[in-house]
Amino acid sequence: MENVKGYHVAVVGATGAVGEKMLSTLEKRNFPISKLTLLSSERSAGKKLLFKGEEHVVQVAKPESFEGVDIALFSAGGSVSKQLAPEAAKRGAICVDNTSAFRMDPEVPLVVPEVNEADIHQHKGIIANPNCSTIQMVVALEPIRKALGLNKVIVSTYQAVSGAGAMAIKEMKEQSQAILNGEAFTPEILPCGADKKHYQIAFNAIPQIDKFTENGFTFEEMKMINETKKIMHIPELSVAATCVRIPVEYGHSESVYIEVEKEGVTVQELKDLLASAEGIILEDQPEEQVYPMASTAAGKFETFVGRIRKDLDNDKGFHMWIVSDNLLKGAAWNSVQIAERLISLGIVK
């Protein structure tokens, strides 16, 4: 970005995994910052973080912290966002919230810049960042929807443990070591910190992310279903999701089945659409064993798509494999992208 003018940027939850990624992304993108305010809970206040070689002291987040702030990036949990984002907006800041607090609020735009950038204009002080697994999927689906129409989406996710936080990563590594050493261990984190039962994640796959709802789907699955319809402005779209936690540190992978509206579409048409789409890298050469993987997507901003093939029974059905870094495109980078668009669209002056 051209550093024409500097902006006062606040990062709420600066010491967390996503907060740290937000800071590194702001630095990597050379985001135009005149003043940086780092905020957190009382527990993390006082910590010192480096940004562009300069030390910044993390302060306790409170309503008055947002005086004079232009853009506030939130990633400190839903309860913090619910309490402080409206206070920040009252003081003139535009908030980009990475929690689920406002995602389904009809007054709050839910934005993936490659998909529904225009919705940014509808903000009333708060813009919601979608769920990580939703973001990468809609990035890949939007160019298809625009050109060919979209009737149905069925997704199964293979989600990294970093999506459950630093303690989940630690547990996976410790369990792996214990199993290799033949030692006993007691799972304490996954599948969901507040649940009564916890299961081994090392060398395992857990078909539960977040709690179950009354309809048998988990909250994570319902987020993907509802957010996809809202972002793409297709409330009638048929969407189903199964979300699974696997022992991978960074990078969510998704097996996605879609049905398009147009007849006679070829695999090559889909490949051409995706290869030229913003934010997507096509990795699809099965004869050379080239396809997206979490290990190669980690640390990158883009969404990777491959294994595109036509369904054998439905002429309008296609299968694909979508991979992206859940802490970058799934969280920090999408948030910073929104902030960049706020400037390029002239919404923040």
Distance of alpha carbon 198 from the chain centroid: 25
Contact in structure between 130 and 227 (CB atoms under 8 Å): yes
DSSP secondary structure letters along 154-182: EEEEEE-GGGG-HHHHHHHHHHHHHHHHT
Closest to 130 measured CA to CA, from 101, 103, 109: 103
Whether a cis peptide bond, with omega within 30° of 0, leads into 191 is yes
Closest to 112 measured CA to CA, from 306, 274, 330: 330
In DSSP terms, which residues pair with 317 in a beta bridge?
Answer: 259
Contact in structure between 110 and 100 (CB atoms under 8 Å): no
Helix (H) or strand (E) holding 50: strand 48-51
- Rounded Cα gap, residues 275 and 266, in angstroms: 14
- Among this protein's residues, is 198 annotated catalytic? no
Active-site pick, 95, 123, 243, 252:
252
- Among this protein's residues, is 56 annotated catalytic? no
Active-site pick, 132, 192, 198, 243:
132
Contact in structure between 131 and 230 (CB atoms under 8 Å): no
Q: Which residues are catalytic?
A: 132, 252
